[in-house]
Structure 1
């Protein structure tokens, strides 16, 4: 959530920055905001006036009583002032709640270093890497006609028909060596993030409450993208009784610090978790219908850091590097893209996407997204730390995929396929596969 003082001090500038994002008209009801702000200022001004008046009258009452004179008329004025103050206090609480409701729909402001653009075509390539060429290198061209992961994986246990039979479209079953390779990837990723990069491994619930999703920005704006496990609002239940399957473990991990004041010396906090993720993919009808690129259920190893505000942008670069390390250790060509204002996520102030090379599609595809949310989530979460001056200050939150397991499996199948239909197991994964060096074609 944005700092409301930014809107109060310079609303036109804030709106101008928001308008560089997608669909700016839907972000803030400016007329409603200005009307509420005008009413708030008027009530607060009247409240100060009444409080001063009440103090003056109270002194007069004391003086009259000390002289034995009748103070009933002035006491009646004080009672009337008290009633008006109570009414004003109730209305101020209502206004604050309405302002909060408006702010929940407003995305984060893009950082000044983010390029302006209307969609993914405005993204900027920062760097690329390949196992043969290193930094700046391009993917090698295979000496045979490559297949996509669907054709490579189906003979090895990649079963889309069974997924559809058990649940529906965009669900997948894996069996045999392919299921083992999928598990090996997640274990390898966790080991790298915990042993090499200092993250604390966590096990978290796969179902969270509405407060958790509201704190990280998924609610109320993106409810249609979630799978509801339990609907609240029934008799005897509040709205917060609603439960949802997690779209990413960013949600529970970041909520570790909800309503917490963290000692400054404890920062940064670094968490990682391997979980399934559940997304309805609302609005993606007809996109990536073939294969595993866009699923309703997929696994991901997530990285979350809670940091001092002065450290958040150097941390963004570090987390991006942590995700890149996985791709480099696996020998997968990739590029890093700086997202433009029109392609960033709701809560992000700056985002890098890592895109892995998929020779079967002859294209780079997103495999990780790393974002600095600054204090946007922390303000919703009331996640703070006590600074050197002894004052409570909002932390900055960052998150990134390290990596999406299913898409990494896709990349391994396509980049490590052989002409005979078998798939070489990357050297980094062989210890997790019991020493198996290749998965044979079936």
Structure 2
């Protein structure tokens, strides 16, 4: 059930923008969208991606591939400093694991399934990070437990032609770094605010303008009590792109997965609360970096925060 503080609304048109952080860059030229910028620089290859697999797939070349990898490393290292323990999980899971996290049965049509082995490709690292403690009782003294993980994500969601799917904004395979927290019920409100701040700090470290949106009850995920979206400004696309959705799901997942903790006072075991959030999602973060750091000559300056992983590359140019 939605938290009492979640605003009532019918759909996403009634979500509330709580604040905007940072100032949108003023250009002395018309900024290009990433699909033109990436093609001109030779760092995104749409045609060969389609040749390999089909629509909504692409190849990142050279400095483009390295920039994606740098973003992932930057996020994982930052979250480690923020107090999250890194996990590397399987990219395929059992159906019961997807049930525990809430993806099954509701989203069965959006998942890739190996029928013979009865294994499912993960749509988010939230799934294995939930399932790894299934049927376990945690010690109260170990809570809260905070984890971060990178996975490619696989989703079969139907995509119609048009502006919303042009470029690399939406695809059937994409990279994402996840944040995940197990805590006691009385800790979950504070942990939600910590996770949101950690997602914000990830944007700030990249120098991106972003806004915080509070989701109304009609746009809330069916397992979530409270959700905040973090959206970054993409000047070439001329739109705000969601790069993180930070949610407190209460004991919903813990109840499905039977995850409890044993209080130190010897009382009966209780269900934990779980929280999840992208930290951040790619390739939308990649889009924002490309479009915000583009120059008049068509080059892209690498943000300072990413340069340790770029092998000396400071500018992507022809």
Give TM class, smaller chain.
Answer: over 0.9
Other-structure match for 2:277? 400
Give yes or no for the alignment of 1:165 onto 2:51.
yes
Structure 1 segment 353-372 matched on structure 2, within 5 A: 353-372=229-248
**Which has a greater percent of helix?**
1
Partner of 1:125: 17
SS at match of 2:63: helix
Q: Per-residue deviation at 1:140? A: 2.3
**Is 1:250 the counterpart of 2:118 in the alignment?**
no
1:118, distance to aligned residue in structure 2 (A): 1.2
Q: Aligned residues, how many?
A: 315
Matched, 1:114 2:6: yes
Larger radius of gyration: 1
**1:336 matches 2:221:** no
Post-superposition offset of 1:321 = 0.7
Partner residue of 1:213 out of 65, 74, 98: 98
1:7-26 to 2 correspondence within 5 Å?
none
1:33-432 superposed matches below 5 A: 109-130=1-22, 138-156=23-41, 157-194=43-80, 196-231=81-116, 242-282=118-158, 284-286=159-161, 288-387=164-263, 388-432=265-309
- Tell me the distance in 1 between the aligned counterparts of 2:215 and 2:51: 38
In structure 2, what is the Cα distance between the partners aligned to 1:229 and 1:356? Answer: 35
Does the CA-based 8 Å contact 2:91-2:122 persist in structure 1?
yes
Q: TM-score, normalised by structure 1?
A: 0.70
Q: In structure 1, how many angstroms separate the alpha carbons of the residues matched to 2:288 and 2:114?
A: 32
- Shift >6 Å, 4+ stretches: none
SS across alignment from 1:270: strand
Aligned residues of 1:207 and 1:229 also touching (Cα < 8 A): no
Mapped to 1, the partners of 2:254 and 2:161 lie a distance apart of 36
- Relative to the length of structure 2, the TM-score reads 0.97
Contact (CA 8 Å) 1:319, 1:370: kept in 2 or not? yes
Partner Cα separation in structure 2 for residue 182 and residue 115 of structure 1: 36
Local SS of the residue matching 1:162: helix
Tell me how large the CA RMSD over aligned residues is: 1.1
* C-alpha displacement of 1:389: 4.3
Unmatched runs of 5 consecutive residues or more in structure 1: 1-108, 131-137, 232-240
